Amino acid sequence: MPPFFHRCVRLVVGATLSVSPAVCHHEEPWKLTDVRGHLPDLDFALTSDAGKQISQANLAGDVTLVYFGYTHCPDVCPETLAKLAQMTHQLGDAAQHVKVLFVSVDPARDTLAVMHAYVDAFDAKHDVGLTGSDSAIKALAQRYRVAYQADEPRANGG
């Protein structure tokens, strides 16, 4: 991936993770902020790592976190999924209505089996790997203002 992509991902991850200390700080009470209207409502139809069609309707009533990445990502993706797994673990019983959607931006290499093993390694209970056609993933990424770029595959598959 180009350096620009890594900077963007680090910026998004950094901004997301910088909120965590404020949420976990127990000395001062914290309040929730209604963020509805800042991003479009969840709207997608993709294939889960279990091979089932899934859409926003399957997640009604759940808190849903959407993360775009790829299983061959060497650093940012696994670190972020590990931190999200820690967060859901810390929520205890409240996490029963939390889903982390890992949307692959590398559907050519991220097969259902690869995605399933990857998300299960972090949090099999809350993580769902999602894949689909290039156009479906591109449309979802554009909907949430996510930019990514895939280079042409190399002869060795990289």
Q: How far is CA 88 from CA 35, 56, 98, 122, in A?
A: 20, 20, 7, 11
Token pair, residue 6, equals 């890594």
If one looks up domain 3-143 in CATH, what number appears?
3.40.30.10
Q: What is the residue-level pLDDT of the chain in tens, covering all 158 positions?
A: 455 444 444 444 444 444 444 445 456 677 778 877 888 888 999 999 999 999 999 999 999 999 999 999 999 999 999 999 999 999 999 999 999 999 999 998 999 999 999 999 999 999 999 999 999 999 999 999 999 988 887 887 77
Residue ranges per structural domain of the chain: 3-143
Backbone angles phi, psi at 129, to 5 degrees: -85, 135
**Residues 6 or more apart in contact with residue 110 via CB below 8 angstroms:** 70, 71, 72, 104, 118, 129, 131
Residues 153 and 11 sit within 8 Å (Cβ to Cβ):
no
Give the integer Cα–Cα distance in Å for 34 and 95. Answer: 19
The one-letter amino acid at 5: F
pTM of structure: 0.76
Task: Give the closest residue to 73 by CA, choosing from 117, 100, 50, 106.
Answer: 106
